[in-house]
Amino acid sequence: MNFSAVFKAAGVAGLVLLAACASSKGPDVVANGDTGSTGGTRGSAAAPGSQEDLEQNAGHRVFFGYNEYTLTPQAQATLARQAAWLKQYPNVRIMLAGNCDERGTREYNLALGARRAEAARAYLVSLGVDGSRVQTVSYGKERPLDTRSTEDAWSVNRNATTTITSVGS
Amino acid sequence: MREDEKMKMTFKLLAVAIALGLAPLSADARVKIDITQGNVEPMPIAVPEFIAAAGGNPELAKNITEVVKADLDRSGLFSIIDPRAYIEDVANLNVRPRFADWRLINAQVLVVAEVKSLADGRIDVATRVWDVYADEQLGAVSFKTPADNWRRAAHKVADFVYKALTGEEGYFDTRIVFVHETGPKAKRVKQLMIMDQDGANPAPLTDGLNYQVLTPRFSPTQQQITYMALYDKKPGQIFLFNIATGEQEQLGTFRGMTFAPRFSPDGSQVLMAMERNGNSDVFRMDLATRALTRLTDNPGIDVSPTMSPDGRRIAFASDRGGSQQIYVMEANGQNQKRITFGEGRYMTPVWSPRGDLIAFTRQYQGRFYIGVIRPDGQGERLLTESYLDEGPTWSPNGRVLMFHREQSPGDGPSLWSVDLTGRNLRRVRTPADASDPAWSPLLP
């Protein structure tokens, strides 16, 4: 698998999300290749149950405060939409990746990223999502979406990001 | 693997102390640097270009001299007198120097050496260290090694001089493993490299792995390292890597992430952090049996364990009290006690191989610092400061720290060293961006 292409694509997806505009590109789906053809249509017509669908209709990323892993009301709202979406597509399995800004040490941030991923997972489970459908991973400060060293970039990089890993039955 | 061969190359470095038949190191040498003091005035020493023995290679002798001088200079303990000031032209290793000539230029110590090419392809570097004021020899040593291994011979000479003048083991014949970083920040390629302590001979240790390599740590007893592999889409795990054979092995497969590995001082165990259901605690793995023992069980994040050289205590970082601070406990996990109470956050404790200090990373008001503190929590001293200083590693003699730094926002990481005075801060050259340095023990 081409790592770098995936991460670059994920980065683009994040910035697009921030700009609050919908995109037909679903790079994370392309990365795992399990969802079949999804990108053929323009505009917001994402294939139901696809990564694009998740991103457009629920939101696939929640953000955290500095050195925090508690969910903001906004994050809870996004995760509630994710939970509803996941119930709509019961065969979809996801991975929640916890990420941190660069203002911490490598090892602590790996631990903090795990906390963030788990906070998001626990919330989905509390809303009725089967925990076995949700894996977690921490990337610490190693996979910044926005590579600038600014407050704006850091606030984007403190996140838990949901990616569809499979849609098998 | 090209590196394999290199590692397998036998480093037969025969130290024939006192091969020159003169008096051994005198115990009450008059010249001595006390490096336990906070502020050391560099000792003026003279190091004339090493003599090329008859039929020898003057170019090689010159190169060895330069490496020795660079080592001694970088230590911050010695100030090498400009050779243009030297009066006596030392042409014979076995003739007593004219001490008056060296006193005249304020040299306290004179290092004289001769490089001989042997018939079997090796070289013999014979060295004498003279106390200029006491008119006596502080020590003599001879190292034989394959000619292409001359840099190591030079480091051995520098270590010998260091020990003769400080009474402590040197750290020049050592290597650094670090993370070689290439590519843009968003898709960084992170591989392991190894190089000599002075930045020479950088060589890749890993290539084409499907994961990023983070936080390598040297075994204090063997040419072995442990590191964390950061995968895509599965939790990162800890590996062992044998430098001599190139063999790698994942240290168990766990559902949660395992990270922050560090060897115990005897090399028989790896301390680590393991995450389960989002919470990280400190564990110990016995390498022979692979038995895993939990050492902390706390709802706070416990990471970065490091064992005292006597094996009796473990320091780690925890945010159980609200912010990250350093704690010390007994090796079995009992009696967990906080030792840092300053403002900001304290992370990445690393116990000195001497046992007297714990190095750490401190984050305070948007700046990062490398500092040291005694294991009882007293005597904190900050040695460095920048936008990001992180991840100290000790020289095997516990006198120098190496770490990585991002000088200003947006800068790539680079390696730096600093001594315990905090005054001798130096950049360490690397082929590209570099992070997470790990200092080897003295090579055999």
Give the residue with greater pLDDT, B138 vs B20: B138
Q: How sure is the predictor about B185, in pLDDT bands with cuts at 50, 70 and 90?
A: confident
* Separation CA B431–CA B422 (nearest Å): 25
CA angle B309, B310, B312 (to 5 degrees): 115
User: Would you call A137 and B233 a contact, using CB atoms and an 8 Å cutoff?
Assistant: yes
Query: What is the percent of chain B where pLDDT is above 70?
Result: 91
Q: Look at the domain A3-166 and name its fold.
A: 60s Ribosomal Protein L30; Chain: A; (3.30.1330)
pTM of the entire predicted model: 0.87
> In Å, how far is B78's CA from the nearest CA of chain A?
34
* Separation CA B157–CA B297 (nearest Å): 48
* Separation CA A97–CA A141 (nearest Å): 11
Q: Which of residues 62-81 of B touch A (CB under 8 A)?
A: none
* Separation CA A140–CA A105 (nearest Å): 9
- Mean pLDDT for chain B? 91
What is the predicted pLDDT for the residue at B343?
94
Q: How far, CA to CA in Å, does B261 sit from each of B188, B227, B348, B349?
A: 22, 6, 11, 12
Q: How sure is the predictor about B38, in pLDDT bands with cuts at 50, 70 and 90?
A: low
> In Å, how far is A87's CA from the nearest CA of chain B?
23
Q: Where are the domains of chain A?
A: 3-166
* Separation CA B47–CA B109 (nearest Å): 9
pLDDT at B342 over 90: yes
User: Would you call A107 and B215 a contact, using CB atoms and an 8 Å cutoff?
Assistant: yes
User: Would you call A106 and B257 a contact, using CB atoms and an 8 Å cutoff?
Assistant: no
**Around Cβ B375, how many Cβ atoms within 10 Å?**
19
* Separation CA B441–CA B437 (nearest Å): 13
Q: Is B208 on the interface with A (CB under 8 A)?
A: no
In chain B, the residue whose alpha carbon lies closest to the alpha carbon of A97 is B233
User: Token digits for B378?
Assistant: 């007293």
Burial of A132 (0-12, 13-18, 19+ CB in 10 A): exposed
User: Would you call B304 and A136 a contact, using CB atoms and an 8 Å cutoff?
Assistant: no
> How large is the average pLDDT for residues B97-126?
96
The residue assigned the tokens 């260290």 is B129
Preferred mutation among B301, B348, B365 to probe A, highest tally of A CBs within 10 A: B301
Asked whether B130 and B109 are in contact (CB, 8 A), the reply is yes
**For residue B259, what are the β-bridge partners?**
B273
Which residues on B lie below 8 Å from A6 (Cβ)?
232
CA angle B158, B164, B169 (to 5 degrees): 70
What is the predicted pLDDT for the residue at B37?
54
pLDDT tens for residues A87-121? 999 999 999 999 999 999 999 999 999 999 999 99
Asked whether A102 and A50 are in contact (CB, 8 A), the reply is no
- Mean pLDDT for chain A? 81
Within 8 A by CB and 6+ apart from B289, the residues are none
> In Å, how far is A41's CA from the nearest CA of chain B?
28
> How large is the average pLDDT for residues A148-163?
97
Domains and CATH numbers, chain B: 2-166 (3.40.50.10070), 175-439 (2.120.10.30)
Which residues on A lie below 8 Å from B280 (Cβ)?
111, 114
Q: Is B409 on the interface with A (CB under 8 A)?
A: yes
Asked whether A160 and A64 are in contact (CB, 8 A), the reply is yes
pLDDT at B212 over 50: yes
User: Token digits for B173?
Assistant: 């014949």
Preferred mutation among B275, B281, B320 to probe A, highest tally of A CBs within 10 A: B275
Q: Is B436 on the interface with A (CB under 8 A)?
A: yes
Select the residue of A107, A139, A165 nearest B348 (Cβ to Cβ).
A107
Which residues on B lie below 8 Å from A105 (Cβ)?
304, 347-348, 361, 363, 390-391
Q: Is B361 on the interface with A (CB under 8 A)?
A: yes
What is the predicted pLDDT for the residue at A44?
61
* Separation CA B49–CA A142 (nearest Å): 47
Least confident window among B37-41, B274-278, B316-320: B37-41
* Separation CA B101–CA B98 (nearest Å): 6
Q: How far, CA to CA in Å, does B246 sit from each of B6, B243, B258, B392?
A: 11, 5, 22, 25
Q: Is A95 on the interface with B (CB under 8 A)?
A: yes
Within 8 A by CB and 6+ apart from A58, the residues are A78, A81, A82, A84, A85
* Separation CA B63–CA B155 (nearest Å): 12
Within 8 A by CB and 6+ apart from A151, the residues are none
Where do runs of H (alpha helix) occur along B108-260?
A: 150-166
Within 8 A by CB and 6+ apart from B282, the residues are B271, B272, B273, B294, B295, B296, B302, B303, B305, B314, B316, B333
Select the residue of A4, A104, A119 nearest B187 (Cβ to Cβ).
A4
